[in-house]
Structure 1
Amino acid sequence: MTSSPSSATPPSTPPSSPPALTRIRVGSAPDSWGVWFPDDPRQTPWERFLDEVADAGYEWIELGPYGYLPTDPGRLADETAKRGLRVSAGTVFTGLHHGPGVWEQTWEHVSRIAELTRAMGAAHLVVIPSFWRDDKTGEVLEDPALTASGWRELTTQTERLGREVRERYGLRIVVHPHADTHIDTPENVARFLDATDPELVSLCLDTGHYAYCGGDSVQALETFGERIGYLHLKQVDPRILAEVVAGQVPFGPAVARGVMCEPPSGVPALEPVLAAAQGLGVDLFAIVEQDMYPCPPDRPLPIALRTRSYLRSCGAR
């Protein structure tokens, strides 16, 4: 006897998977292992970081603070290659709003890191502006709001940096909006982008810092996606963030409270961010950075394993 259509059991449908993010290359960074400084006894030793980031299933890493990983290119190439790792970028810290007077000191710092970054085959240099208040003590070092002349120096000196780094090392600078710096809120990010040459200056959109400072990363990708050359993947805990904002807590102590949290427990949701990035139609690195300084040495790897699995579920193969 044949069952009627109304009584037939429909075939089960396997759960749908998100489209593969073919333009997104995911990685992680020393930051996700609690590393903020070149040398600190509370940090994960660099050999353990390299072992564990590879064990977590990542193929790409950033250099982290200069001096944390070996600075000899030959040795670092050997150490990364034997673990199947490659370098996506180096990171520099700058105070370019102070004008030409800080150029020589800045360039001495930048050139060493740019040279190692190039030697490792990477193409990007992440540029983080200096903090306006001390990251540990909370002491206010300068006005949180730049003057018109400060903005002029910040933008013109950043363009200079972009030109010099490109011409001398063949690298592209990607400026990282960051909490407790002058490039933080969506308004300040837009002002910075409007005043800089797209040929010289791109943006590293950090989803956690942008949310920390009131921004929407999907909206940013839709509004000025052509300026975004690099991504940092990070989430914030909304409850802790509200306490941090209300108490005017500096970024360092906020991180110690756990304001940056393991995905997918925070905001922004990363799947729509990654989908919007894929929609730009360009190749982008998306490097996981879960600020956790300081943290117990056994904490990072389980989080990294879960995070890598979560990113695969978002389409980041």
Structure 2
Amino acid sequence: MTRRIAANPIPWWSQAGKTREVFEDAFGSLSAIGFTAVKADVPEGTTTAEYLDWLEGFGLVPSTGLFNSPLDDSVDVAELLESARRFAGQQTALGLDRTMLSSMSVPERLQRPAVGAGFDRARFDRAVELAGRVCEVLRSEGIWPLHHSHVGGVFETEAEVTGLLDALGPGLLGFGPDTGHLAWAGADPVALLHRYADRTGGIHLKDLHPDHLPAQDAEGDYRALSTSGRLWAEPGRGVLDLRAVLAALSDDYDGDWTIEVDFPSVGDVVESHRLSFAWAEEVLGAVAVA
């Protein structure tokens, strides 16, 4: 892997869907701004070869993707593991050697986000078990799984994140934090990066406005808060100390830096990414490798 300044075009597709037209708009805009990589996200019906050619037409390459599952009793285990195997094959075909692994969409946590609502020990233990089995499949296929915390999922709070990582151990699961989701849930991204520095293989750099912090005082469900324009902030424009985050990474960190603003806090998605890239060039440009 080489370190690149990448983008996740989530604000393009989260509202309009993952259509070819939406991705075309996102890729064109991100390329014009200066990004050289985007989160790997191969649309249905598109082969990996077609996807690589498509990105190349914009001067882009795929960056670390994400494997997502509820990791609960709603999933068929055999189908989950086969899906992980297929996903790993796709990622290696894209030239990638690692992926984020996340769990999302616990109903009570989407309704009352970032506070660990409805913690259930049996559900947590089951999710750890399933995550471990997914990691075994990904590892066997040459893909390094990195836990990616997400508000609304079964591993939401700091205790849940560390519980998962410590239970599975460094030989099975790495760390791929999202600074914004961790901080929204009350965790300290800098402390966690120091704790798991030797296991960190990727990172999503996201800032936060203070309007809905702390989470226990906020009113609104996940969607309302996340799309308010006053939760997520472009890097450097919020309250997180992202320079301290970067300083906490080990000297031999070799993952990408993925800029992610789920919902822009400025009026235009392109301007949001211009501001984000300008910050990245200033802070990361000297050490990024295109």
Smaller-chain TM-score range? Answer: 0.7 to 0.9
Kindly provide the CA deviation profile for residues 109-145 of structure 1, in whole angstroms up to 9, marking residues without a partner as x: 4344333322211122222213212787x399x9731
Q: What is the SS of the residue equivalent to 1:34?
A: helix
CA distance in 1, matches of 2:64, 2:25: 20
Q: What is the SS of the residue equivalent to 2:284?
A: coil
Kindly provide the CA deviation profile for residues 200-244 of structure 1, in whole angstroms up to 9, marking residues without a partner as x: 1112110000110111211111122122221001011111334x5
TM-score by length of 1: 0.79
Residues 39 and 115 of structure 1: is their aligned pair in 2 closer, same or farther, counting only changes over 3 Å? farther
Residues 78 and 44 of structure 1: is their aligned pair in 2 closer, same or farther, counting only changes over 3 Å? closer
2:80 is the counterpart of 1:116? no
How far apart are residue 290 of structure 1 and its match?
Answer: 0.5
CA distance in 2, matches of 1:134, 1:58: 37
Aligned to 1:184: 156
Extract unaligned runs of 5+ from structure 1: 1-22
Residues 248 and 103 of structure 1: is their aligned pair in 2 closer, same or farther, counting only changes over 3 Å? farther
Residues 135 and 219 of structure 1: is their aligned pair in 2 closer, same or farther, counting only changes over 3 Å? closer
Task: Give the conservation status (yes or no) of the 8 Å contact 2:3–2:256.
Answer: yes
Aligned to 1:19: none
Q: What is the SS of the residue equivalent to 1:174?
A: strand
CA distance in 2, matches of 1:38, 1:62: 17
The total of aligned residue pairs comes to 282
Aligned to 2:135: 162
CA distance in 1, matches of 2:109, 2:272: 25
Aligned to 2:7: 28
* Aligned pair partner of 1:222 in 171, 174, 194: 194
Aligned to 1:196: 168
2:47 is the counterpart of 1:72? yes
Equivalent position amino acid for 2:99 in 1: L
1:204-283 matches, within 5 Å, as 204-242=176-214, 245-258=216-229, 259-277=231-249, 279-283=250-254
Residues 229 and 109 of structure 1: is their aligned pair in 2 closer, same or farther, counting only changes over 3 Å? same
RMSD after superposition: 3.0
Task: Give the conservation status (yes or no) of the 8 Å contact 2:175–2:196.
Answer: no
CA distance in 1, matches of 2:162, 2:93: 33
How far apart are residue 25 of structure 1 and its match?
Answer: 2.7
TM-score by length of 2: 0.85
Residues 139 and 267 of structure 1: is their aligned pair in 2 closer, same or farther, counting only changes over 3 Å? closer
How far apart are residue 192 of structure 1 and its match?
Answer: 1.2
Task: Give the conservation status (yes or no) of the 8 Å contact 1:185–1:213.
Answer: yes
Residues 314 and 143 of structure 1: is their aligned pair in 2 closer, same or farther, counting only changes over 3 Å? closer
Aligned to 1:85: 60
Q: What is the SS of the residue equivalent to 1:199?
A: coil
CA distance in 2, matches of 1:38, 1:122: 27
Extract unaligned runs of 5+ from structure 2: none
2:56 is the counterpart of 1:58? no
Aligned to 1:175: 147
Equivalent position amino acid for 1:309 in 2: A
CA distance in 2, matches of 1:47, 1:151: 39
2:259 is the counterpart of 1:288? yes
CA distance in 1, matches of 2:61, 2:246: 21
Task: Give the conservation status (yes or no) of the 8 Å contact 1:207–1:233.
Answer: yes
2:69 is the counterpart of 1:94? yes
Percent identity for Structure 1 against Structure 2 = 20
2:284 is the counterpart of 1:309? no
Task: Give the conservation status (yes or no) of the 8 Å contact 1:232–1:288.
Answer: yes
Residues 76 and 24 of structure 1: is their aligned pair in 2 closer, same or farther, counting only changes over 3 Å? closer
CA distance in 2, matches of 1:40, 1:204: 23
